Structure 1
Amino acid sequence: MEEEKVQTATSHYPLMDRELSWLAFNYRVLQEAKDPRVPLLERVKFMAIFSSNLDEYFKVRVATLKRLIKLNEKTRRKLQEDPSDTFGQVMQEVRRQQEEFGEVFREGILKDLREHGIHLLTEHDLNPEQQEWVRAYYEKTLEPLLLPIILDETETQLFLKDQTVYLGIKMWEPQAGEEGKPERFAMLEIPTKKHGSRFVKLPTVGDKRYVMFIDDVIRLCLPLMFGAYRQFDAHAVKVSRDAELDIEEEVSGNLMAKIRKSLKKRETGYPARLLYDPETPQDLLDMMMAHTGITQDELVDGSKYHNFRDFFQFPDFNLPGLKYEPQPTLVHPLLEQEPSLLAAMQRQDYLVHYPYQSFDYVLRLFNEAAEDPKVTAMSATLYRVADDSAIAKALARAAKNGKLVTVVVELKARFDEEANIFWAGKLQKAGANVIYGVPDLKVHSKLGLITRNEGGKLKSYAYLSTGNYNEDTSTIYADHALFTSDRRITRDVEQVFNFFIDGQPDKEFRHLLVAPLNMREQFVRLVDREIRHAKKGLPARMVLKMNALQDERMIKKLYAASQAGVQIDLLVRGICCLVPGVEGVSENIRVRSIVDRYLEHARVYIFHNNGEEQYYVASADWMTRNLNRRVEVAFPLLQPDLVEQVRTIIGLQLSDDNKARDVANTYIPASPPTDVRSQYATYNYLRSLVPEGVHPYREKKK
């Protein structure tokens, strides 16, 4: 391990730098784009994911580093490390990854596309017939969407929109008889949103398919736009702006207004970076900098094309063989046969595993409750919902049907604030009681509570999940969701909603772990119990799965457990600041990360407990923000068959020798080889649970 990538918090234990650890995670995404085992058009999507991730990283994390660098020296000395040093290491690693990204695209993706008859053409590759077709397409479709801005001495300051690609244009050699400056400069926004795609499909010839960036269509047609000149040079730039909300996280005053104001500020936040084409002539670059206020410090070398996230829109040309084989959504082996989910939940608990099994069950639950005359109240936490959220619609309908509906809407869910504001307004109009989070905390838990009058007594039903109420992401995020009426769980869920209502921390939780009220303390207690067992010579083990491990206190506790002899397996998809395998510190800790077809999003915490295992499924990572500054929930699995399901799934992930990497991003082999690809093995396992005679797949909606 390179020394500069490890920081030492104290002389007693090592820590991986958080920023570099995140970049290591994004490199795993790039590895998927390089992997020849991944279908070609899926590799193209991983290129888009890598780019999209990096954009958000610059908007949030790099912007934060730059804000810290601007602090006065006295304040900066209070920080654990110099942000300037971290920033330098981050930019060095980003440049290295960007160079490899370009190489993967040029030498891998483009080459393989050509081998499959898909040709991504530039303006220089077109034959005369294609040039004629492209010019006609430009005049009919693109030209009405374009608004060039001339840059000259009198031009006022030009504002570049966040995450938008522009062409900086230099033109020279005026046409004969034309009067004017010998050279001029202009900027032009690439109209990706207005056009509906970054790409233009050209006519197919035989088995050859052709596609172009609209950037190159515009480059070819610059003489049509600026007819007074003969020579042109056009290079792309893109700005990423600071996306931190920078608001007081409290409900005092009108939080909605603060969020709306902050969303407007996001578009005008100071630049975190300006990506530019290194081939840009210096006079054009100087002109763009002069008119945009971008400084040399914000410049980051890019390539000819920016916003590779637009490759999400890359046409598939109806070639299914270049994509993942479809995995039809599975039905739940028990819930599928139940006409009433509430009646089924009276008898036992159920786990649904997304995206393998259908998300429709939670939609059915909320729709059933909204129409059930015996249901008196419904509550839910909304963190990230779909734009056309069926869950929010069901809650609104329940309120209109006279039920007491309480909805906790998190307005600080980064990049989803606008959708959440929209649904908060809709729900209020329907008569729901909308709560905008908790003072100083972000509500990240995913909970639902239904109260029903059964024979004069109120009975509660709860839905607890690791994932959001989001139909869109449920098809790509791997999560677990619990449907239960077990009073041990529902009583604690009621207490969580009471906390949302009154904000008082004096709540008692007997089975749920709730941040920031008791989660950290209970996790420490569970780790300490394993330490005690190890010291007594008893078997001691933990399997901890999360998206990110950053909290220093929990990392230090895991080091202590390793030193006591506790065997620890960590499944960490993203940031992992713990350093495994250090003699005398962490030699009993193994870390693996799985990046594959679906985004591993579930958090699972397993404690051996001398053979009486305890399983917790959670919304929370072991990051300081999750444990201290968010409302999170971890719920126990109390039913043996549900424990067995999660045990099997986690076991498959620990056996994965196809997509599992260590902290150095080296694929982990199995000895002997198991050839387990855990996400596919999980699908097959859940498919095997469907009884004979039951159609295993959910019918697609027409």
Structure 2
Amino acid sequence: MNDPDASLNATEAEVSIGAAPKRAVDDVDVDLTASLEETPYRHAPILASSRQPSGEKASDLDAPSLYINRELSWLEFNRRVLEEAQDESHPLLERVKFLAIFSNNLDEFFMIRVSGLREQLESGILETSADGMTPAEQLVAIRRTLEPMLKEHRRTWLEDLLPQLNAAGIRIIPYHKLKKKQRRLLAKYFHDEIFPTLTPLAFDPGHPFPHISNLSLNLAVVVSDPEHGERFARVKVPGFFPRLLRIPSEERADIFEGLPLSDVKADNFVWIEEVITHNLEELFPGLEVKAAYPFRVTRDADIEIEEDEAADLLAAIEQGVESRFFGKVVRLEVDKAMPKRIRDILVENLGLQPYQVYALEGPVGMADLWELMKVDRPELKDRPFTPSVPPALTTGESIFSVLRRQDILLYLPYDSFAPVLDFLDVAAEDPNVLAIKQTLYRVGKNAPVVKALMKARENGKQVAALVELKARFDEENNIVWAKALERVGVHVVYGLIGLKTHAKLLMVVRREQDRIRRYLHMSTGNYNAATARVYTDIGYFTTDPDLGADVADLFNALTGYSRKDSYRKLLVAPGRMREEICRRIEREIARHKQHGDGRIIMKMNQLVDKRCIKALYRASQAGVQVDLQVRGICCLRPGVQGVSERIRVTSIVGRFLEHARIYYFYNGGEEELLIGSADLMPRNLDRRVEQLFPVEDPFFKSALKTILDIHLNDNVKAREMLPDGAYRRVEPKPGEARINAQEWMVANRGFWHRKE
């Protein structure tokens, strides 16, 4: 789930999920146990704003007990991912995929978030988060929350999905259960393919402890030397082999004696580390291999660049990417069977504390379960569908002609991403196009948008691309594309010092008769053809002159120098975006006090910003009806008496990654809808370049309200946040139809298109 990964035997005071430490709970007189059934709130469709009585009550909105810890809220999001792996309504291989996503998410969480807390702890930083927790308390709470979750993750694999895969004919076979011919075939494969790539690294007074690279799979090997007794060595499992090796059945093994395993089509697999373990004698001739235990380390992967001191930002980022291999170790995962004496060797030499060690039952590094999605069993995967295309773009008429007549809204992945690529391709070839400007954040390895920009430059267009080199874990891809664009003469800008450019903007400047016209595409998501198939994002084509002028001003600020912070229609961060969002919330409060019809709906990825949360609390206290659909982190605590009874928080985790950002304000019937790239987080509002833009076309405003309404009424994949920060599934009430918002969008895709 790309832009967008991630995946302590404590003695401190008890810290529950989402709650502040005991000392902070008494800071304000609120009832944290109030359930949502006990509040007067019940979601109503947004198309008919309902009048709510005012319930304003004075309270300390800075009290730590009013805020959910960011890290624990993220863990609750990953718990919802795990629940999808346990949901039998998903096809079997999709459930396995969710199990892999859970692990991949945790990897990124430790590389970035936990490493950051560790750094604060080691630096002696005692500053608390908004919820009142110190870095040490957060690390304790993370461990306490995560341990039972990891057990449930393993149980789901070993007791649920693994037996079901076996029953479905997809067998992951323990090495000791392989038959004679299968073992012989794997021994040959080991000797011919794997053995030449292995390097055993001894650890003794004459051999220093080897470097363990980030997220690599390793074997801690114990051997017995006739002269020196027990010895320890490390063997790294090469990452360029499949983690799950495909093997034929015993009956067909002879056929593959002279063929590569890649020719095997049978759905039988064995873990590569087991193959290596059972053939280690070749690596240690004359010694007895006593045991081998898989382990894995996670390192700090947050690149720190002194941008204002870097003479060459691209070179500095390249060096930073390489430094990830050498970041401090923040987590050690070991096989549960590893003896304490072996574990202690690793802990001591990696400079770890015991609470950083996770002993796991089953395979280490289960993000590799993604490999099973390559199995050709369509009946065990989500049913594919053909994304829709706006009718106006299917007639053969020039896209420029269509956009002069009307705006177009795309809702991915229910719509095809092809119109965006076609728009770029046509612009690259059109003789009347003078210039193309685009922001690129995460474009992926195979980037058709980049190829179109290169073609445009080759055709003599002025092309400017802002390639954000600091897009985490996409730095290497972006460096490759930045260099490729520069080679053909594209004006490449790497971003602003101290900021990440996260805005999603594309502008085509075209000469038409006696005037210049700007064509825009703005989006909530990246220009990435791969994620366009699995992320829900909204893109918008328009020729609105004011928006065109705003986007032109913003591009000039990004590529040149500017202190402009006010725009005609755009909301831009950093600058006035937070102020403008809060101003709209205050407008709803004022309106509600006079007319009782205040209504706010926000759909986003994360809600962390304290000033925005406080404004939403004030809205609730004034009686404004507030619906928040926050896919991931939510630091706002709903359902608190006197503070947030009028706020309902839901989250949808399902087949697609909810990624769209939509902000709705009733505004006394003069409804305002903003969409764009920004979540309400300090990083988005203060340290990133972001854009929100109004959708003013009545047809598309109505369509977006319907999209919001369907998602808010989801009673299949939605979870509702409780005052303690936990979530519970929303269930259909008696007689109520089941609504799975994502399935509804697939079935009704294209209803947001104008009919020609």
Q: Does 1:135 align with 2:187?
A: yes
State which of 13, 18, 30 in structure 2 corresponds to 1:5: 18
Q: Does 1:182 align with 2:229?
A: yes
8 Å CA contact retained: 2:67, 2:131: no
Aligned CA distance change for structure 1 residues 403 and 624 (closer, same or farther; 3 Å): same
Match of 1:58 in 2: 110
Question: For the residues of structure 2 that align with 1:251 and 1:406, how far apart are their CA atoms?
Answer: 25
State which of 87, 95, 99 in structure 2 corresponds to 1:35: 87
Deviation at 1:290, TM superposition (A): 5.3
Within 5 Å, give how 1:2-401 maps onto structure 2. Answer: 5-7=18-20, 11=28, 12-13=60-61, 14-72=66-124, 81-172=133-224, 180-192=227-239, 194-195=240-241, 197-204=242-249, 209-250=267-308, 253-289=311-347, 292-294=350-352, 296=354, 298-314=356-372, 317-401=375-459
Match of 2:621 in 1: 563
Aligned CA distance change for structure 1 residues 440 and 105 (closer, same or farther; 3 Å): same
1:645-691 deviation digits (Å, cap 9, x = unpaired): 22222111111111000122211123343211111101111156789
Letter in 1 for 2:243: R
What is the percent sequence identity of the aligned residues? 37
Question: For the residues of structure 2 that align with 1:691 and 1:511, how far apart are their CA atoms?
Answer: 24
Could you tell me which runs of 5 or more consecutive residues in structure 1 were left unpaired when the two chains were aligned.
695-702
Aligned CA distance change for structure 1 residues 218 and 252 (closer, same or farther; 3 Å): closer
1:101-137 deviation digits (Å, cap 9, x = unpaired): 1111111111211222322111222232332232233
Deviation at 1:354, TM superposition (A): 0.9
State which of 667, 678, 690 in structure 1 corresponds to 2:729: 667
Match of 2:48 in 1: none
8 Å CA contact retained: 2:69, 2:129: no
Question: For the residues of structure 2 that align with 1:92 and 1:153, how far apart are their CA atoms?
Answer: 38
1:376-423 deviation digits (Å, cap 9, x = unpaired): 111011111121211111112222222221111111111111111111
Question: For the residues of structure 2 that align with 1:441 and 1:469, how far apart are their CA atoms?
Answer: 20
8 Å CA contact retained: 2:550, 2:568: yes
Aligned CA distance change for structure 1 residues 541 and 251 (closer, same or farther; 3 Å): farther
Letter in 1 for 2:727: N
Question: For the residues of structure 2 that align with 1:132 and 1:600, how far apart are their CA atoms?
Answer: 47
Aligned CA distance change for structure 1 residues 67 and 690 (closer, same or farther; 3 Å): closer
Within 5 Å, give how 1:303-702 maps onto structure 2. Answer: 303-314=361-372, 317-663=375-721, 664-671=726-733, 672-687=735-750
Question: For the residues of structure 1 that align with 2:500 and 2:570, how far apart are their CA atoms?
Answer: 18
Deviation at 1:82, TM superposition (A): 1.6
Aligned CA distance change for structure 1 residues 388 and 220 (closer, same or farther; 3 Å): same
TM-score under structure 1 length normalisation: 0.93
Query: What count of residue pairs does the alignment treat as equivalent?
Result: 686
Other structure's SS at 1:234 match: strand
8 Å CA contact retained: 2:221, 2:289: no
Deviation at 1:518, TM superposition (A): 1.9
Q: Which moved more, 1:247-256 or 1:354-363?
A: 247-256
Aligned CA distance change for structure 1 residues 687 and 343 (closer, same or farther; 3 Å): closer
Deviation at 1:229, TM superposition (A): 3.5
Q: Which moved more, 1:429-438 or 1:9-18?
A: 9-18
Aligned CA distance change for structure 1 residues 126 and 543 (closer, same or farther; 3 Å): same
Question: For the residues of structure 1 that align with 2:731 and 2:150, how far apart are their CA atoms?
Answer: 28
8 Å CA contact retained: 1:379, 1:449: yes
8 Å CA contact retained: 1:655, 1:674: no
Aligned CA distance change for structure 1 residues 315 and 121 (closer, same or farther; 3 Å): farther
Question: For the residues of structure 1 that align with 2:70 and 2:475, how far apart are their CA atoms?
Answer: 26
Question: For the residues of structure 2 that align with 1:524 and 1:78, how far apart are their CA atoms?
Answer: 19
Aligned CA distance change for structure 1 residues 366 and 317 (closer, same or farther; 3 Å): closer
Deviation at 1:77, TM superposition (A): 11
Deviation at 1:225, TM superposition (A): 3.5
Deviation at 1:360, TM superposition (A): 1.1
Other structure's SS at 2:67 match: strand
Other structure's SS at 2:165 match: helix
1:36-92 deviation digits (Å, cap 9, x = unpaired): 111111111101100000000000000000000012367789996421011110111
Higher relative CO (CA 8 A, sep ≥ 6), structure 1 or 2?
2
Deviation at 1:251, TM superposition (A): 7.9
Question: For the residues of structure 2 that align with 1:265 and 1:222, how far apart are their CA atoms?
Answer: 31
Other structure's SS at 1:150 match: strand
Question: For the residues of structure 2 that align with 1:57 and 1:235, how far apart are their CA atoms?
Answer: 25
Question: For the residues of structure 1 that align with 2:598 and 2:347, how far apart are their CA atoms?
Answer: 60
Question: For the residues of structure 1 that align with 2:373 and 2:660, how far apart are their CA atoms?
Answer: 31
Other structure's SS at 1:5 match: coil
Deviation at 1:429, TM superposition (A): 1.8
8 Å CA contact retained: 1:573, 1:593: yes
8 Å CA contact retained: 2:521, 2:542: yes
Could you tell me which runs of 5 or more consecutive residues in structure 2 were left unpaired when the two chains were aligned.
1-13, 29-59, 252-264
Letter in 1 for 2:245: V
Deviation at 1:147, TM superposition (A): 2.0
Aligned CA distance change for structure 1 residues 330 and 466 (closer, same or farther; 3 Å): same
Q: Which moved more, 1:120-129 or 1:279-288?
A: 279-288
1:581-617 deviation digits (Å, cap 9, x = unpaired): 1111000000110000110001000111112211111
8 Å CA contact retained: 1:495, 1:507: no
Question: For the residues of structure 2 that align with 1:317 and 1:406, how far apart are their CA atoms?
Answer: 41
8 Å CA contact retained: 1:499, 1:507: no
Q: Which moved more, 1:485-494 or 1:183-192?
A: 183-192
Q: Which moved more, 1:138-147 or 1:18-27?
A: 138-147
Question: For the residues of structure 1 that align with 2:440 and 2:449, how far apart are their CA atoms?
Answer: 9
8 Å CA contact retained: 1:385, 1:468: yes
Question: For the residues of structure 2 that align with 1:248 and 1:507, how far apart are their CA atoms?
Answer: 25
8 Å CA contact retained: 1:465, 1:482: yes
Deviation at 1:231, TM superposition (A): 4.4
Aligned CA distance change for structure 1 residues 77 and 423 (closer, same or farther; 3 Å): closer
Letter in 2 for 1:303: E
Question: For the residues of structure 2 that align with 1:67 and 1:316, how far apart are their CA atoms?
Answer: 39
Question: For the residues of structure 1 that align with 2:71 and 2:129, how far apart are their CA atoms?
Answer: 19
1:514-553 deviation digits (Å, cap 9, x = unpaired): 1112211111111111101111133111110000000011
8 Å CA contact retained: 1:351, 1:482: yes
